[in-house]
């Protein structure tokens, strides 16, 4: 087991905040009396609803079937009766059909201890089915269904399996708590992936505050006699970004349309490994996840294990409610998360955090003209020149914008964060990408 220290090029050090949930052990949130369960909680195609209004469902019953290869099953997080089928706008702006379940009846799994299966006796195909059947998706990013990413036979060999324990966005601490509280299960989950993917090297990457979980992990790796390595990285943001991580750990650059898989790497976050562990060893569908509830306006910040479909308002209430006026509510981290205004938003597979930020924390500055300070250039982990992109976008010179590397931008937010003029650089970059794609699509249509 090696301990290596490497440094991220670019990136920013967002300020440490005082109201952290880091030191509080994860607790089980109250079981919600009503769950709003969207059928789109992953990338790709929404699940197909297979329940009707008035139908009774057991805890863990399938309520949405995967209707395409890039789709994922959705299960009932609580037993009860389907009271409504609604349409809602998710925190990330996508539209989704959702199944509303009112709590009623008995829990099949809650509070019962399940004897773990010996996964070593299972064939790879069976493991794949377990992960797919449980509706496991990437819990740290865009929710790519795990059976499409980690399990099916791949065209390229996996040289590096990188377990992302970096959690570099400010406020977030749920992955840190999982690293501290469940190291043995994490190591066993990684061993399953090692068998499926046969990587040449397997690394758990830690950064910033998560580096202090190293001793527990070291013990778990030794007890399992595994060849998993631990690697400690600088605590800069966006160390946990897939592209950045592959650069820091494997020393490989991923640019443009290439994926980390093209660079011979697979990156998976801690929560997803544990969801796979539960699917394979315990046969548990993905009906709950750990969520950080934090920010200056939260009375008692914490990490909660939450049933999917519970409302974010319920979580805030469970954390003592507001102790100051929230200026902004965010689902996800402060750098990449989505601002919401509605406390009835449901927790989904993609909800890593709920933040209630005060005016003081937002440090909002009005936008002024670029002062050519170059900070955004120094902060960009992808080696881009955001200021140049900003100027080219203002001129609508899309060809030059593409040439300047707009599609290499990972939308990490470092440039906008560091800009003293308050220029919304990331928003401009996102809009430019959409505009360019739209024009390319229209050109293609005209050509036909
Ligand atoms: S240009 Fe893109 S990749 Fe570079 S700092 Fe800005 S958001 Fe991050
Ligand atoms: S950080 Fe902001 S002000 Fe400085 S060069 Fe970049 S865009 Fe201009």
pLDDT, one tens digit per residue, over 201-235 is 999 999 988 999 999 999 999 999 999 999 999 88
Q: Is the CB of 136 under 6 A from ligand 2?
A: no
As annotated, the residues of the chain forming the CATH 3.40.50.11540 domain(s) are: 3-16+114-282
Q: pLDDT tens, 293-315? A: 999 999 999 999 999 999 999 99
Copy the structure tokens of residue 276: 């796979």
Residue 142 has pLDDT above 90, yes or no: no
Average pLDDT over residues 39-49: 96
Q: Is the CB of 374 under 6 A from ligand 2?
A: yes
Give the residue whose CA is nearest to atom 1 of ligand 2: 419
- Using the mean position of ligand 1's atoms as its centre, give its distance from the Cα of residue 324 in Å: 32
Fold type of domain 3-16+114-282: Rossmann fold (3.40.50)
Q: Note the pLDDT of residue 19.
A: 61
Interhelix angle 214-223/174-181, nearest 10 degrees: 40
Copy the structure tokens of residue 288: 């709950």
Q: Note the pLDDT of residue 337.
A: 87
CA distance 249 to 268: 13
Q: pLDDT tens, 52-82? A: 999 999 999 999 999 998 899 999 999 999 9
In ligand 2, which atom is closest to the CA atom of 369? 3
CA distance 57 to 48: 16
Least confident window among 39-48, 87-96, 221-230, 418-427: 418-427
Q: Is the CB of 280 under 6 A from ligand 1?
A: no
CA distance 150 to 190: 11
Q: pLDDT tens, 279-297? A: 999 999 999 999 999 999 9
Give the residue whose CA is nearest to atom 6 of ligand 1: 415
Average pLDDT over residues 263-289: 95
Q: Is the CB of 365 under 6 A from ligand 2?
A: no
Q: Note the pLDDT of residue 360.
A: 85
Q: What share of the chain is helix, strand, coil (3-state, %, to 5)?
A: 30, 20, 45
CA distance 284 to 363: 43
- Using the mean position of ligand 2's atoms as its centre, give its distance from the Cα of residue 373 in Å: 5
CA distance 126 to 124: 5
Listed residue (357, 349, 371) closest to 421, CA to CA: 371
Cβ contact 74:97 at 8 Å: no
> Strand order of the sheet with strand 80-89?
34-38, 95-103, 80-89, 56-57
- Using the mean position of ligand 2's atoms as its centre, give its distance from the Cα of residue 416 in Å: 8
In ligand 1, which atom is closest to the CA atom of 386? 1
The alpha helices in 198-327, defined as continuous H runs, are 214-223, 242-250, 270-277, 312-318
Q: Note the pLDDT of residue 111.
A: 65
Size (the chain), residues: 448
Q: pLDDT tens, 373-397? A: 999 999 998 899 999 999 999 999 9
Q: Is the CB of 384 under 6 A from ligand 1?
A: yes
CA distance 185 to 274: 7
Residue 123 has pLDDT above 90, yes or no: yes
- Using the mean position of ligand 1's atoms as its centre, give its distance from the Cα of residue 208 in Å: 21
In ligand 2, which atom is closest to the CA atom of 415? 1
Cβ contact 353:338 at 8 Å: no
CA distance 74 to 66: 8
Question: Across all residues in the chain, what is the average pLDDT?
Answer: 90
Cβ contact 170:13 at 8 Å: no
Copy the structure tokens of residue 328: 């902004």
Average pLDDT over residues 1-27: 66
Give the residue whose CA is nearest to atom 5 of ligand 1: 380
Q: pLDDT tens, 94-110? A: 999 999 999 998 887 76
Average pLDDT over residues 1-29: 68
Average pLDDT over residues 268-286: 96
CA distance 132 to 151: 9
Listed residue (173, 174, 175) closest to 165, CA to CA: 175
């Amino acid at each position: 087991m090696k301990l290596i220290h490497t440094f991220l090029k670019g990136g920013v050090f967002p300020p440490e905040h005082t109201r952290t949930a880091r030191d509080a052990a994860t607790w089980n949130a109250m079981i919600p009396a009503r769950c709003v369960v969207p059928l789109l909680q992953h990338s790709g195609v929404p699940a197909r609803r297979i329940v009707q209004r008035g139908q009774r469902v057991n805890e863990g019953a399938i309520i949405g079937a995967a209707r395409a290869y890039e789709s994922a099953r959705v299960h009932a997080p609580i037993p009860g009766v389907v009271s409504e089928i609604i349409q809602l706008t998710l925190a990330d702006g996508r539209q989704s059909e959702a199944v509303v379940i009112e709590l009623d009846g008995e829990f099949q799994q809650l509070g019962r201890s399940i004897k773990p299966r010996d996964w070593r006796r299972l064939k790879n195909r069976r493991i794949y089915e377990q992960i797919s059947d449980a509706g496991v998706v990437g819990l740290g990013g865009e929710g790519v269904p795990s059976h499409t990413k980690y399990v099916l036979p791949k065209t390229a060999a996996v040289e590096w399996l990188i377990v992302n324990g970096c959690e570099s966005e400010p406020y977030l601490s749920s992955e840190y708590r999982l690293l501290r509280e469940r190291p043995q299960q994490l190591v066993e989950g990684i061993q399953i992936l090692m068998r499926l993917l046969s990587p040449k090297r397997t690394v758990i990457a830690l950064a910033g505050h998560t580096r202090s979980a190293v001793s527990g992990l070291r013990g778990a790796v030794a007890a399992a006699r595994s060849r998993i390595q631990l690697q400690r990285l600088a605590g800069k943001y966006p160390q946990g970004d897939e592209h950045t991580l592959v650069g820091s750990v494997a020393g490989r650059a991923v640019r443009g349309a290439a994926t980390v898989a093209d660079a011979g790497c697979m990156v998976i976050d801690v929560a997803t490994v544990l969801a796979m562990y539960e699917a394979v060893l315990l046969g548990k569908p993905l009906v709950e996840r750990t969520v950080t509830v934090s920010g200056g306006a939260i009375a008692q910040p914490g990490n909660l294990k939450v049933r999917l479909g519970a409302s974010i308002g319920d979580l805030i209430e469970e954390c003592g409610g507001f102790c100051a006026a929230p200026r902004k509510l965010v689902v996800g981290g402060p750098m990449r998360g989505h601002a919401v205004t509605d406390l009835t938003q449901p927790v989904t597979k993609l909800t890593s955090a709920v933040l209630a930020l005060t005016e003081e924390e937002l440090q909002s500055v009005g936008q002024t003209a670029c002062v050519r300070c170059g900070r955004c250039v120094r902060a960009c982990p992808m080696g881009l020149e955001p200021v140049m992109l900003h100027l080219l976008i203002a001129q609508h010179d899309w060809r030059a914008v593409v040439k300047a590397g707009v599609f290499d931008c990972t939308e990490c937010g470092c440039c906008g964060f560091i800009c003293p003029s308050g220029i919304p650089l990331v928003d401009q970059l996102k809009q430019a990408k959409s505009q360019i794609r739209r024009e390319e699509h229209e050109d293609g249509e005209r050509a036909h």
